[in-house]
Amino acid sequence: MIRLVVSILCLVLINFTLTRVNAQHKFNSFYLQQNIENRIDNLMCVHEAGPCFYQLCDPSSQLSSSKVFKCARGLVFDEKNQKCIWSLPWHSCQQSSENNFTDTTSTYLSTPESNFSLNETTEENKLVNFLSRNMNQRIRDFRSYNDSIVLSNDDHGEYAYIVVPVKITKNNRMEEPRPKTKSKKKSKKKNKKPIVNLDEIYKYKKVCYVTNWSQYRPKPAQFLPENVDPFLCTHIVYAFAYIDNYTLTIRTIEENDEEMYKRINDLKYKNPKLKTMLGIGGWNMASEEFSAMSNTKENRERFIRHAIRFLRFYNFDGIDLDWEFPGDRGGSPQDKPNFTKLIKEFRKAIADESIEEEKEQIILSIAVAAGKKRIDQGYEVKEIAPELDFINLMAFDFHGNWDDKTGMNAPLYNHENATGIDSEYNQDWAVSYWIKNGCPPHKLVLGLPAYGRTFHLKDKRKSGLLAKTLQDDAMSGKYTQTAGFLSFYEICQVKKNTNWTQVWQPQSKSHYLHKDHDWISYDDIKSFQLRTAYVVAKKLGGIFIWSIDMDDFNGKFCDQGAFPLIKNSMSLLMDYLPEWYSSNVNQKEKILVKSSKIQNSIDPNVFYVLKDELNIVEDELDADFELVKQNKIRNELVLLLSQQPEKFLPISLTESFNCNNKKKGLYRDPLDCTKYYFCDNLSNNEGLTTKPLQCPQNQFFNLQTCNCESKSLSNNKCVKLIETYCDLPKIKKL
């Protein structure tokens, strides 16, 4: 009986306790909801100083400017959960200390009754997430008021921070850091000029793009920053970062982009002359964000201001704007003039920042289209070219599996059957059109693809150029895993299968392979060397490779060593642009270059060439190669001239021909076959005088007949020569 009474009493006591607990929980939940709803206007946001500082979100609130709080070392503020959390310790603000900051390890709560965590239970988390619909708008308002922080939200509504360091003064005003000056006696700003790296003006550009998605390819094709040879290229462009569609400023794409930025820039410890740049945009981003950002002066200024700080913070030397394409793919008709405004304002801001911070100017380049339609609708060439350091011409993807017939991916010239718009789909046409529209040749950098395009033949018996194709079922690679696309190293694997037929297309100067229904257009060492020769002959600014991670970077696929495409093309370019040493160059500029970079033992007005012939590509005769052969020895010029000067013949660039030490007679100009000279005795018989002569239009001087002849009447090529005396029994080529 006693046990029964005790049991009943226990049950009553338990029931009473549970009732009190439930009542208290309901009261706490109600109190929590009321508290949060009452304090929704007092939500905290990350402060401009960095992710470990925070303040009230509402910019109109008087309290928002009265106090800034700081998380404890190693913690950053999480806006979603309204508390400080652990994060990576890379943020610079973790080391800073300000007297007016309050250190804390939890969210800012000003009243005793608010001392609870907002994520203690699942039910409370749901409540916070429900109320965060208003929080997101508050944060966006805060962001628009303070544009130093980039906010990007993914599909789950979370936030990522890209931090630019700023200084917080005692009155809570935000200022960019300024270098400390040793002395107040400085020259006036009016007399200051931007700091310019002469190499960016006078050197060939050898630009290599590195993609941030190549790290995810299966081994051995996985490409990491440590796989880059820092001595192959003059510029490394890390592709890509995006423009955030809300803030219209730079944001990262991959989770480890910030780590990759550091690893790419660490290459400069190995080669201090290497320049690193950040590519913004790309095909996947299209035009919408670029168009919105460039649409107003305020948006452009915000983007430029943030971009410069972003580049400096991550130690990049420049920025490559890869807008594909203005006025198209989500753009507007106003993109063309707006892009011009963006570039001009960017150039001015770069110059101002260089003067203010006493740093070398940030490099500014763009990647541009090669097709007439997109050039006409997207670029005011004459306006933008003077403002840019160089222009990367994407001279590839002229044909692909989107077509209904086979075609070359990156033809140098027209093939014989090209008609209509197809006659414009080649690199030579694109280069000529850009130059015709006002782009200086030395600013144009020709793009070369380290990949091929694949097609699926409609009839395997018809496998030539312009054969009918089906747009589906195009071949993909084991590593790149994209239909209609093969990297160079994947093509090397295909070629090892002897069942494939390889064809050289002489007009396009490219290859194609075919087997059964598969058809591949691609370029190799031979075609890359021909395009390098073209760059020299056209006096372009250099070449760029898209992309370095698709060359055989580890030498495991093609049996040609590491980076066979890049090593056998970029290495043919000498260091300095030869046209800058002609008589057209301002003498002051020439002296600057000579004193800063050129060896004193080498005359900058003389082009030294080897007398012996260099067989770069044995089975291809091309006049342009004569110039490449001259350029090939430039990098080893000092050593060779000092050891074996008898092997070199100097050619003056300030004076194309001189009769000194020559016998009387007719000579053709060594570089220009439309010019010739008569070396005649002086009146005092103490030497020879040079009489320059010019062939009529569309004629050149033929050394075999010693006459000017029409080009159509002779099969002789207009080659560059050393020996040009017209009665030589045999012409000795370089």
**What amino acid positions are annotated as catalytic residues?**
324
For 668, residues 6+ apart whose C-beta sits below 8 A from its C-beta are: 675, 676, 677, 701, 703, 721, 724, 726
Is 198:593 a contact under the CB 8 Å cutoff? yes
Is 105:71 a contact under the CB 8 Å cutoff? yes
- One-letter amino acid at 661 equals N
- One-letter amino acid at 610 equals L
Name the 3-class secondary structure at 273: coil
Round to whole Å and give the CA distance between 461 and 456: 12
For 255, residues 6+ apart whose C-beta sits below 8 A from its C-beta are: none
What residues form DSSP beta bridges with 446?
393, 543
Which of 260, 202, 268, 266 is CA-nearest to residue 233? 268
Token output for 199: 């190499």
For 597, residues 6+ apart whose C-beta sits below 8 A from its C-beta are: 198, 199, 202, 576
Round to whole Å and give the CA distance between 360 and 541: 21
Round to whole Å and give the CA distance between 325 and 331: 8
Is 487:564 a contact under the CB 8 Å cutoff? no
Phi, psi of 546 (to 5 degrees): -115, 110
Is 91:51 a contact under the CB 8 Å cutoff? yes
95-105 core/surface letters (b: 16 or more CB in 10 A; e: else): ebebeebeebe
What DSSP designation does 154 have?
-
Round to whole Å and give the CA distance between 396 and 391: 15
Residue 534 backbone zone (phi > 0: left; psi -120 to 50: alpha; other: beta): alpha
DSSP H or E stretch at residue 676: strand 675-681
Round to whole Å and give the CA distance between 398 and 418: 13
**Strand duo 318-322 + 363-368: pairing:** parallel
Residue 466, judged by CB atoms within 10 A of its CB (0-12, 13-18, 19+), counts as middle
What DSSP designation does 725 have?
B
For 163, residues 6+ apart whose C-beta sits below 8 A from its C-beta are: 50, 51, 91, 92, 93, 149, 313
Tell me the angle at which helices 525-537 and 427-436 cross, rounded to the nearest 10 degrees: 20
Write out 529-597 in H/E/C secondary structure: HHHHHHHHHCCCCEEEEECHHHCCCCCCCCCCCCCHHHHCCHHHCCCECHHHHCCCCCHHHHHHHHHHC
For 579, residues 6+ apart whose C-beta sits below 8 A from its C-beta are: 442, 539
Round to whole Å and give the CA distance between 374 and 6: 90
Which of 248, 52, 250 is CA-nearest to residue 162? 250
Helix count (H) and strand count (E) of the chain? 17, 32
